[in-house]
Amino acid sequence: MNDYLRKEDRQKIIDCFGKSYYEKLVEHLNIYSSRWKLQDVDFIPSYSMNCVFKCYSEYYGNAVLKIGGSKRAVTAEYHTLREYDGWRLCKVYDADISNGVILEEEIQPGRSLFHGTSRDQRISIFSSLFKDMHIPPQNPGHYPTYKDWVIRSINYISRREDCTDLFPHIEKAQELFSSITEKYARNMLLHGDLHHENILSNHAGEYIIIDPKGVTGDPVFDISRFILNEFNDTFSIDLYLEIEAFISALAKSLHIPCSILKICLYIETTVWLCDELQQGVPIHECSYLIGNILHAKSMLSN
C-alpha cells in the first residue's frame, strides 16, 4: 500500500470525516492510482466535502484527483465539465461516479484571480470569461436547477423553529426570484460557484475555470459569488460604498442593470445561509452570513 498521506493529514481526515471514511479513502487511492497510472500523488489540505490530490497520470499528464464527493455532486461536476469540453473550464479526464471519484486537468501554475490583479482588472477578466460563456445543457436531468436551490432553502428554513427571524428574508428572496425570472428565464448550464478561487491562470496567461457545481438557470444567477468573494465573503458597513461601487462597475462591464445584480446578490446570500444550516453548521456560527443578508437587503433600495 502506498502512503499518500502524512501522519497529521491522516488524523485530520479521521477527525473530520471518521475512520471508515479514511479507510475507504485509502482503498480508493490505491485503486485509482493503479487504474489511471498516477504518480507523485500529493494531498491538498482542504477537508471540505471531498479530499483533493495533485498528481501526475501516465495517461493524461498533470491532474487533480478528487475522492469522496456525493454521487449527486460528482455527477453534476463531471457532466458539466464534459459538456463544456474545455471551453472556459478545465478538462475532465475520467471518473467513477458511483464511488465519488473524478480525475480532472490541473491548471498550472494555478494562481487565483486575486493574484497580482487590481479590482478593475478582476472585473475585466471576469466579464471577458462570463460573456458568451454559458451553454444550454445537453442533459438537464443531470443537474439541479437554481429554482430547486431556492425552493429547497425555503422548505428547510420553514421547518426550523430556531430560524423564525429568517422567515421574512426567505419569503422576500422567493418573491424577488419569482419576479426576476419573468425576464431572466434562460435555461443554461451554470457553474454555480463562480468566484476568484475557482478562476486560475495557466502558463499561457489564460484564465481557466475549475470546480463547477453544475446547476441550470439564467446566467444572471452565476455572478453573485464573484461579488461576495471580492470582499472575502463578508460584507460590513465600513465597506458599503466600496461594495456599491464594485457592483456598479461590474454591472456596467456586463451590461446588466445594477438593480438586477443586487437582487441576485440578496437571493444568493439567503440561499447560501440555508445551505450552511442544512449541512449542519450551527446557526450561531453563521452570524457573518446573516450579516451578508442584511447588507444585501439594505442595497436593494439604492
Convert the pLDDT of each residue in 212-251 to its tens digit: 999 999 999 999 999 999 999 999 889 999 999 999 999 9
Question: Helix 258-278 to helix 240-254 angle, to the nearest 10 degrees?
Answer: 110
1 pLDDT more than 80 = no
Helix or strand run (H / E) with residue 67: strand 61-67
Question: Mean per-residue pLDDT for 111-127?
Answer: 98
Q: How far apart are CA 135 and CA 291, in angstroms?
A: 34
Percent of the chain with pLDDT over 90: 85
Banded pLDDT at 203 (limits 50, 70, 90)? very high
From the number of C-beta atoms within 10 Å of its C-beta (0-12, 13-18, 19+), residue 9 rates as: middle
Grid coordinates belonging to 123 = 472585473
Per-residue model confidence (pLDDT) at position 2:
60
Task: Assign 32 to helix, strand or coil.
Answer: helix
Domains of the chain: 7-105 (3.30.200.20), 110-300 (3.90.1200.10)
Neighbours of 196 (CB within 10 A): 19
Please compute, for residue 267, the number of CA atoms within 13 A of its CA located in the half-sphere on the CB side. 27
Check residues 251 and 6 and name the one with the higher pLDDT.
251
Question: Mean per-residue pLDDT for 200-210?
Answer: 97
191 pLDDT more than 90 = yes
Question: Mean per-residue pLDDT for 50-65?
Answer: 96
CA distances from 227 to 16, 185, 195, 234, 287 (A): 30, 21, 8, 10, 19
Inter-residue contact 64 to 56 (CB < 8 Å): no
Q: How far apart are CA 78 and CA 104, in angstroms?
A: 9
155 pLDDT more than 90 = no
- State pTM to two decimals: 0.95
Banded pLDDT at 4 (limits 50, 70, 90)? confident
